[in-house]
């Protein structure tokens, strides 16, 4: 056994010890009371959750409540009996308020539950031992009620230099620890050794005041017998040497900095009671169900220390110690310096109750009337925390909380030394307690409002993430479609010459699985975090936030690895072109063009936003991403365009289609000719009846009509000849048509690029003007020249286009009337485009107007303009997509047969329904969003209604999600329908 060095701390006082009274009698064990009152909040964190219900029979040591959060604790039945009630009862707390308690009626049998000690604790994983201690309900028994396993977990925040066992027990009257050391010396030393093993501490010191000679002797004996390296430090009696920070300074010479914890300077402290509880739990499997408590004071005939079951009412103990009600002036839980007055003796003993002081009037006279501070400075000299108590008093009285905090009010350990020495009898500690609780209340209110804000932000982020994910999936689906089509066609060559190594594929598969697992873990953690935020489990939020960040990092790293893996080698278009089917390729081309148009519209919108918020970095990133997407989509379009052109050159179905069309046309001609014959026959009949002079001319007409009908009939009698003729004509005309389509396509792309260039340059010039740049500065920038270039290019292209539209197209037998219809359609499309653009401008203008009028987001959402804007943008996107799509109508036969008209009418009807449904869903989405915005605002202003508002938000979000999914499907169907048409 070694003796440790002793240092000193600032301040301190020497009040009368009054410890001898309670040490006259041996340790007492009171009888069972008629009921045990077990508060669910005996520790620092959230109240425990009851596991029992009224009427349940429980055994001694059985778990009756479990922890409810990081700083919460387990609770066990102190004896066997029946759960009589779970209700609010007065508890031992300075507030004098009630709390939820489990009421246990003892059956008197003291029947233990099956105890499961940790016999091989040295060989068990330390984390499991800590979890076991948590389940045994062990908390710090020195006063704060901090769960022991949490304190032990945090011991390695910094390298542990000192493990201190607090046996100082400096407060007057209290001798519970003294008695515990005397009675359970070996258990204490064994408990210390167990904790020493758990925290891997080399330097263990027991700090004990020199007014406990019997306990010191007992300790020395056991330590010597065990040849222990644990040191004992006997410190001089001075109040408050048992304060954690003061004892650390006494034994190590180190000062715990303001606002920090002992673990921050590599020190861990445990109370002797906690060490014995750890020993009993590990070696006997006994949970924390009793404790040593001092019963003392002049109002008790038999002051003594007792080992008392938790939940025993104080009145039962007063009776046990022969209290004299007439003498009883003040009943205090704890000591005279740091304890608090009990309003009722019905309150129970809890895990942190170390003393009941039943004081007489003479012993603790009522405090003298408070007088004005005379600035004597005695309080400052006595303060062990080196504070300025008179300054703190001033700030407390004037409610200058910030200044009080700035003067380290929270370093005050409420020892009462300042009040004790104050010649003006100022109850300084009462002032500090009140100020501290006011600050805490304000902090809690802030935390609550922060949490509400965080919940709101988290929900918003989640919604945005979901929307982005949905959008990404949609784009991925569209992008994947062409590759799928080509993959299928490339399957044969791929088999013949496999290029991707199996290892890469395996790795890729494994990484994909890992990514999926990481995503699922992240989602789970985010959900837990959200729950913790909603339930305001402040202590869990930080730890979950850290876990979420870690998981996000892990996921990002996996995704990074996956992206670095080589992808399958692209299969050349040339290889597959010959085998490709022209129709699916055209479909993909159309889809890709719709993508280009949609991304273009989004980009336009983002650029517009950027002019309003030019410093928005996030927006700039978004624009960069969309620009990259646009480039990729444009590349896809040109690749697919090339494939389609190649297919068209090699494939044969087109002439066949033309031949079939020619046959159809001949049939119609024959039918018309027959009808003409009939008409002329009728006319001839009438002319003959009235003997008209035109009879001969009509007979001539009839002859000609009959001849034409016969010729057509004859031709139709041999359809193969018609088909062959038509095929050869069509095959001759086809290359010219394809070449035109490519040229038109290229010019349209060039036009779009030139227009975008003009717009970009114009926007940037506008931006410079808004930034206050003058003409010279603007001219010195790159944008005027870029604008000029783009404008020239655009003008040249438009001229080229105009010249071409006035040039008669290459005509074939069927293409001349088709060209007229194309010109009409193009004109109509241009008008539609102009209307759509005007619609966008109008809607944007009106939204801006609403913003200028000071309308908020939800009011704007609720107006008609956002809906109109979306509609106009979609219309424009569809029209632009149509414009860039090769005009299949160029080669379509112009004759609209009765069948075709009927077909088009049949298609128009469902399309109208679809459009109406889309409109309906968009309105539903806008309404749901407006509703969510409103609810979120209500949530911020009325946090007390949080539960019901959150429920409403959840159900509205569900509605919104369903509407969004439905809308997506509807738009998809509409796109398909338009494409098929």
Q: Point out the annotated binding site for [4Fe-4S] cluster.
A: 373, 376, 379, 383, 412, 415, 418, 422
Q: Which of residues 414-443 bind ligand SF4 (CB under 6 A)?
A: 414-418, 421-424, 426, 428-429
Which letter, b or e, does each residue of 627-662 get, where b requires 16 or more Cβ atoms within 10 Å of its Cβ? eebbebbbebbebbbebbbbbbeebeebbebbbbbb
Q: Does 336 engage in binding with ligand SF4 (CB under 6 A)?
A: no
Q: In angstroms, rounded to a whole number, what is the distance separating the alpha carbons of residues 838 and 871?
A: 12
Q: In angstroms, rounded to a whole number, what is the distance separating the alpha carbons of residues 163 and 267?
A: 6
Task: Give the nearest distance from C-beta 93 to ligand SF4 in angstroms.
Answer: 19
Binding-site size for ligand SF4 (CB under 6 A) equals 29
C-alpha 725: how far from chain center? 69
Task: Give the nearest distance from C-beta 409 to ligand SF4 in angstroms.
Answer: 8
Q: Which of residues 877-906 bind ligand SF4 (CB under 6 A)?
A: none
Place of tokens 């003061």: 246
Q: Which is nearer to ligand SF4, 376 or 923 (CB)?
A: 376
Written as six digits, the tokens of 483 are: 């590759």
Q: Which of residues 392-411 bind ligand SF4 (CB under 6 A)?
A: 393
Place of tokens 């925290």: 199
For residue 143, give the nearest of 22, 69, 256, 43 by alpha carbon.
Answer: 43
Q: Does 373 engage in binding with ligand SF4 (CB under 6 A)?
A: yes
Strands 2-3 and 49-50: unpaired
Q: Does 376 engage in binding with ligand SF4 (CB under 6 A)?
A: yes
Q: Which is nearer to ligand SF4, 373 or 744 (CB)?
A: 373
Residue ranges in 398-501 assigned as alpha helix (H): 401-406, 417-421, 428-496
Q: Which is nearer to ligand SF4, 155 or 385 (CB)?
A: 385
Task: Give the nearest distance from C-beta 139 to ligand SF4 in angstroms.
Answer: 24
Task: Give the nearest distance from C-beta 162 to ligand SF4 in angstroms.
Answer: 22
Q: Which of residues 787-826 bind ligand SF4 (CB under 6 A)?
A: none
Which of the stretches 380-388, 541-549, 766-774, 826-834 binds ligand SF4 when contact is defined by CB under 6 A? 380-388
Q: In angstroms, rounded to a whole number, what is the distance separating the alpha carbons of residues 221 and 185?
A: 9
- Quickly count helices (H) and strands (E) in the chain: 28, 17
Q: Does 179 engage in binding with ligand SF4 (CB under 6 A)?
A: no
Phi, psi of 253 (to 5 degrees): 80, 0
Task: Give the nearest distance from C-beta 341 to ligand SF4 in angstroms.
Answer: 17
Q: Does 314 engage in binding with ligand SF4 (CB under 6 A)?
A: no
Q: In angstroms, rounded to a whole number, what is the distance separating the alpha carbons of residues 626 and 616?
A: 15
Q: Which is nearer to ligand SF4, 426 or 946 (CB)?
A: 426
Angstrom CA distances, 401 to 437, 493, 735, stand at: 11, 79, 87
Task: Give the nearest distance from C-beta 322 to ligand SF4 in angstroms.
Answer: 34
Task: Give the nearest distance from C-beta 436 to ligand SF4 in angstroms.
Answer: 10
Phi, psi of 63 (to 5 degrees): -70, 125
Angstrom CA distances, 910 to 154, 914, 917, 920, stand at: 67, 6, 10, 15
Which of the stretches 252-260, 386-394, 460-468, 918-926 binds ligand SF4 when contact is defined by CB under 6 A? 386-394
Q: Which is nearer to ligand SF4, 26 or 377 (CB)?
A: 377
Which of the stretches 177-185, 382-390, 520-528, 959-967 binds ligand SF4 when contact is defined by CB under 6 A? 382-390
Q: Which of 263, 379, 787, 932 binds ligand SF4 (CB under 6 A)?
A: 379
Q: In angstroms, rounded to a whole number, what is the distance separating the alpha carbons of residues 292 and 351?
A: 10
For residue 101, give the nearest of 82, 112, 88 by alpha carbon.
Answer: 88
Q: Which is nearer to ligand SF4, 328 or 428 (CB)?
A: 428
CA atoms within 13 A on the CB side of 538: 12
Q: Does 378 engage in binding with ligand SF4 (CB under 6 A)?
A: yes
Q: Does 385 engage in binding with ligand SF4 (CB under 6 A)?
A: yes
Q: In angstroms, rounded to a whole number, what is the distance separating the alpha carbons of residues 886 and 646?
A: 14
Task: Give the nearest distance from C-beta 11 to ligand SF4 in angstroms.
Answer: 7
Q: Does 387 engage in binding with ligand SF4 (CB under 6 A)?
A: yes
Task: Give the nearest distance from C-beta 171 to ligand SF4 in angstroms.
Answer: 12
Q: Which of residues 724-783 bind ligand SF4 (CB under 6 A)?
A: none
Q: Which is nearer to ligand SF4, 382 or 541 (CB)?
A: 382
Q: Residue 506: which residues within 8 A CB-CB, separation 6 or more?
A: none
Written as six digits, the tokens of 137 are: 């309900």
Q: In angstroms, rounded to a whole number, what is the distance separating the alpha carbons of residues 922 and 868?
A: 10
Task: Give the nearest distance from C-beta 255 to ligand SF4 in angstroms.
Answer: 14
Interface residues with ligand SF4 (CB under 6 A) are: 373-379, 382-385, 387, 389-390, 393, 412-418, 421-424, 426, 428-429
């Amino acid at each position: 056994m070694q003796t440790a060095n002793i240092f000193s701390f600032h301040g301190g006082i020497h009040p009368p010890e009054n410890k001898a009274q309670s040490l006259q009698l041996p340790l007492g064990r009171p009888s069972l009371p008629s009921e045990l009152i077990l508060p669910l909040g005996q520790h620092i964190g959230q109240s425990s959750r009851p596991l029992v219900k009224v009427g349940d029979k429980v055994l001694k040591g059985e778990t009756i409540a479990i922890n409810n959060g990081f700083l919460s604790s387990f609770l066990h039945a102190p004896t066997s009996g029946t759960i009589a009630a779970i209700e609010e009862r007065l508890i031992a707390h300075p507030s004098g308020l009630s709390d939820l308690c489990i009421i246990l009626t003892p059956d008197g049998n003291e029947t233990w539950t099956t105890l499961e000690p940790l016999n091989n604790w040295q060989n068990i994983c330390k984390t499991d031992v800590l979890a076991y201690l948590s389940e045994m309900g062990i908390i710090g028994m020195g006063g704060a009620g901090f769960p022991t396993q949490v304190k032990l977990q945090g011991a390695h925040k910094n390298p542990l230099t000192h493990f201190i066992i607090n046996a100082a027990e400096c407060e007057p009257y209290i001798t519970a620890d003294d008695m515990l050391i005397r009675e359970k010396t070996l258990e204490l030393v064994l408990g210390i050794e167990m904790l020493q093993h758990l925290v891997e501490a080399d330097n263990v010191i027991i700090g004990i005041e020199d007014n406990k000679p019997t306990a010191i002797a007992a300790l020395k004996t056991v330590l010597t017998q065990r040849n222990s390296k644990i040191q004992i430090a006997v410190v001089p009696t001075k109040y408050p040497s048992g304060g954690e920070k003061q004892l650390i300074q006494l034994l190590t010479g180190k000062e715990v900095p303001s606002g920090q914890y002992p673990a921050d300077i590599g020190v861990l402290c445990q109370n002797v009671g906690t060490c014995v509880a750890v020993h009993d739990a590990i070696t006997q499997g006994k949970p924390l169900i009793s404790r040593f408590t001092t019963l003392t004071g002049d109002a008790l005939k038999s002051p003594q220390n007792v080992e008392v079951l938790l939940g025993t009412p104080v009145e039962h103990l007063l009776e046990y110690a022969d209290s004299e009600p007439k003498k009883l002036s003040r009943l205090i839980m704890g000591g005279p310096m740091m304890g608090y007055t009990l309003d009722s003796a019905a309150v129970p003993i809890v895990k942190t109750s170390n003393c009941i002081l039943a004081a007489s009037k003479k012993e603790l006279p009522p405090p003298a009337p408070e007088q004005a501070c005379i600035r004597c400075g005695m309080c400052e000299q006595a303060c062990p925390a080196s504070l300025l108590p008179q300054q703190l008093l001033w700030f407390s009285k004037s409610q200058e909380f910030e200044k009080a905090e700035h003067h380290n009010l929270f370093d005050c350990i409420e020892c009462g030394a300042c009040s004790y020495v104050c010649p003006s009898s100022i109850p300084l500690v009462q002032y500090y307690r009140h100020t501290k609780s006011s600050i805490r209340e304000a902090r809690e209110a802030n935390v609550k409002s922060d949490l509400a804000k965080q919940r709101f932000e988290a929900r918003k982020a989640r919604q945005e993430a979901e929307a982005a994910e949905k959008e990404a999936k949609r784009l991925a689906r569209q992008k994947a479609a062409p590759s799928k089509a080509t993959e299928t066609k490339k399957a044969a060559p791929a088999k013949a010459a496999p290029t991707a190594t199996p290892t890469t594929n395996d790795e890729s598969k494994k990484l994909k699985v890992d990514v999926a697992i990481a995503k699922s873990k992240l989602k789970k953690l985010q959900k837990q975090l959200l729950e913790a935020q909603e339930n305001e489990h402040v202590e869990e939020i930080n730890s979950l936030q850290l876990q979420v960040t870690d998981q996000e990092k892990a996921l990002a790293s996996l995704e990074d690895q996956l992206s670095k893996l080589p992808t399958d080698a692209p299969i050349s278009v040339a290889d597959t072109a010959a085998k490709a089917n022209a129709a699916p390729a055209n479909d993909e081309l159309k889809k890709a063009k719709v993508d280009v148009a949609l991304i273009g519209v989004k980009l336009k919108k983002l650029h517009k936003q950027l002019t309003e918020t030019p410093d928005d970095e996030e927006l700039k990133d978004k624009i960069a991403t969309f620009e990259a997407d646009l480039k990729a989509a444009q590349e896809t379009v040109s690749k697919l365009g090339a494939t389609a052109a190649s297919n068209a050159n090699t494939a044969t179905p087109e002439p066949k289609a033309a031949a079939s069309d020619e046959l159809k046309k001949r049939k119609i001609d024959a039918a018309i000719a027959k009808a003409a014959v009939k008409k002329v026959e009728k006319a001839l009949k009438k002319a003959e009846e009235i003997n008209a002079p035109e009879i001969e001319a009509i007979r001539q007409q009839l002859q000609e009509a009959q001849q034409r009908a016969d010729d057509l009939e004859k031709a139709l009698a041999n359809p193969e000849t018609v088909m062959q003729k038509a095929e050869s004509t069509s095959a001759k005309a086809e290359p010219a048509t394809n070449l035109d389509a490519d040229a038109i396509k290229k010019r349209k792309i060039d036009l779009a690029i030139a227009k975008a260039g003009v717009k970009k340059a114009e926007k940037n010039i506008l931006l410079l003007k808004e930034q206050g740049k003058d003409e010279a500065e603007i001219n010195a920038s790159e944008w005027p020249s870029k604008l000029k270039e783009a404008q020239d290019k655009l003008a040249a292209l438009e001229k080229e286009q105009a010249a071409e539209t006035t040039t008669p197209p290459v005509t074939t037998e069927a293409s001349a009337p088709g060209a007229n219809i194309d010109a009409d359609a193009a004109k109509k499309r241009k008008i539609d485009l102009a209307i759509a653009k005007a619609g966008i401008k109008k809607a944007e203008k009106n939204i801006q107007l609403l913003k200028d009028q000071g309308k908020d987001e939800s009011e704007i959402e609720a107006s008609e303009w956002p809906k109109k804007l979306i509609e106009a943008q979609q219309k424009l996107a569809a029209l632009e997509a149509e414009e860039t799509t090769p005009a299949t109508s160029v080669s379509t036969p112009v004759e609209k047969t009765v069948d075709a008209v009927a077909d088009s009418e049949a298609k128009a009807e469902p399309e109208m329904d679809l459009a109406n449904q889309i409109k309906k869903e968009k309105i539903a989405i806008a309404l749901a969003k407006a509703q969510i915005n409103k609810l979120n605002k209500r949530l911020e202003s009325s946090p007390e209604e949080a539960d019901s508002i959150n429920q409403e938000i959840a159900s509205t979000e569900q509605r919104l999600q369903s509407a969004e999914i439905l809308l997506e499907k509807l738009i998809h169907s509409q796109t398909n329908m338009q494409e098929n048409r």
